[in-house]
């Protein structure tokens, strides 16, 4: 009897040692009911909402040409200052007006057979205007042209951060994630429980560039500009408890 007990003890020790060695090869976590470890399902959702843009950006440029660099740049700057002053009269606040470029380039004579020589200078100043009231685009363009703007480009359409469409897209993304989680849970013979975690992967709004551009030579009045629509896309990842 003593010999049998000794053999049993040795077998148990050998089994424990073997298990310890094997445990170094990998770890497998098995969820057992009553252990406190939750079964979960992770689902990603996408939500889309089409809406009209509520913000536009326009860029206005003033150019000048002259024989000397300093006076030429000064002339372009004066034109830009006049554009800024006139745009403000339309009702655009200072915080939505920004000078985005000041350039001065020499003009060369490339007559064949001669060394290129500087014949004068061209200066330009660009002003970017953010229009949070897009109904003022036409008036802003007309005002800029009257003030001496020689180059116009835009609009660049976008959506403000507090736009309702962003929230709607997120709500749709959460609903989409839940629907996907329910399908997976049902396939596994379970049901979706409480939300364990929820994270926003991002809300994207495409920037749409208008094709309106004009130089002073065009001389036409500002056209009617249609904003169209933007599609807001939200991505959400949700982890649910499985019951």
Instruction: List pLDDT tens digits, range 91-142.
Output: 999 999 999 999 999 999 988 778 889 999 999 999 999 999 999 999 999 9
pLDDT reading at 7 higher than 80 = no
pLDDT band at 62 (very low <50, low <70, confident <90, very high): very high
Helix 137-146 with 69-90: angle, nearest 10 deg: 140
Q: Which of 95-99, 143-147, 159-163, 213-217 has the lowest average pLDDT?
A: 213-217
Q: Which fold has domain 37-54+159-243?
A: Translation Initiation Factor IF3 (3.30.110)
Spatial separation of the C-alpha atoms in residues 177 and 197, rounded to whole Å: 12
pLDDT band at 20 (very low <50, low <70, confident <90, very high): very low
The whole-number pLDDT of residue 121 equals: 97
Ranges in the chain annotated CATH 3.30.70.2970: 55-157
Class in CATH terms, 55-157: alpha beta
pLDDT reading at 230 higher than 80 = yes
- pLDDT > 70 fraction of the chain, expressed in percent and rounded: 78
Instruction: List pLDDT tens digits, range 192-211.
Output: 999 999 998 889 988 777 65
Taking residue 185's Cβ as centre, other Cβ atoms within 10 Å add up to 20
C-beta of residue 166 within 8 angstroms of C-beta of residue 194: no
Ranges in the chain annotated CATH 3.30.110.170: 37-54+159-243
Instruction: List pLDDT tens digits, range 175-198.
Output: 999 999 999 999 999 999 999 999
pLDDT band at 67 (very low <50, low <70, confident <90, very high): very high
User: What pTM does this model have?
Assistant: 0.66
Average pLDDT over every residue of 168-172: 96
Q: Distances in Å between the alpha carbon of 139 and those of 155, 223, 225?
A: 13, 10, 11
The whole-number pLDDT of residue 227 equals: 81
Q: 108-135 burial, b if ≥16 CB within 10 A, otherwise e?
A: eeeeeeeeeeeeebbbbbbbbbbbeebe
pLDDT reading at 31 higher than 60 = no
Spatial separation of the C-alpha atoms in residues 99 and 33, rounded to whole Å: 65
Find residue 60's DSSP bridge partners: 127, 152
Question: In this predicted model, which residue has the larger pLDDT, 86 or 214?
Answer: 86
Question: In this predicted model, which residue has the larger pLDDT, 225 or 10?
Answer: 225
The whole-number pLDDT of residue 221 equals: 54
Q: Which of 11-20, 99-108, 121-130, 150-159 has the lowest average pLDDT?
A: 11-20
């Amino acid at each position: 009897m003593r010999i049998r007990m000794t053999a049993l003890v040795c077998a148990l020790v050998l089994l424990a040692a073997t298990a310890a060695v094997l445990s170094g090869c990998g770890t497998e976590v098995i969820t057992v009911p009553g252990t406190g470890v939750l079964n979960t399902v992770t689902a990603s959702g996408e939500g889309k909402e089409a809406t009209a843009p509520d913000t536009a950006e326009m860029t206005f440029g003033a150019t000048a040409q002259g024989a000397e660099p300093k006076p030429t740049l000064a002339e372009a700057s004066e034109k830009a200052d006049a554009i800024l002053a006139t745009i403000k009269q339309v009702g655009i606040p200072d915080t939505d007006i920004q000078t985005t470029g000041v350039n001065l380039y020499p003009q060369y004579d490339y007559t064949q057979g001669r060394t290129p020589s500087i014949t004068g200078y061209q200066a330009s100043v660009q002003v970017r205007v953010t229009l949070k009231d897009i109904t003022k685009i036409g008036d802003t363009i007309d005002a800029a042209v009257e003030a001496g703007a020689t180059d116009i480009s835009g609009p660049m359409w976008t959506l403000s951060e507090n736009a309702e469409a962003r929230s709607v897209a997120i709500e749709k993304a959460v609903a989409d994630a839940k629907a996907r989680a329910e399908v997976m849970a049902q396939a596994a013979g379970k049901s979706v429980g409480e939300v364990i975690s929820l994270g926003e992967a991002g809300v994207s709004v495409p920037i749409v560039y208008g094709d309106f551009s004009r130089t002073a030579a065009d001389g036409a009045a500002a056209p009617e500009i249609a904003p169209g629509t933007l599609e807001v896309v939200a991505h959400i990842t949700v982890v649910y408890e499985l019951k």
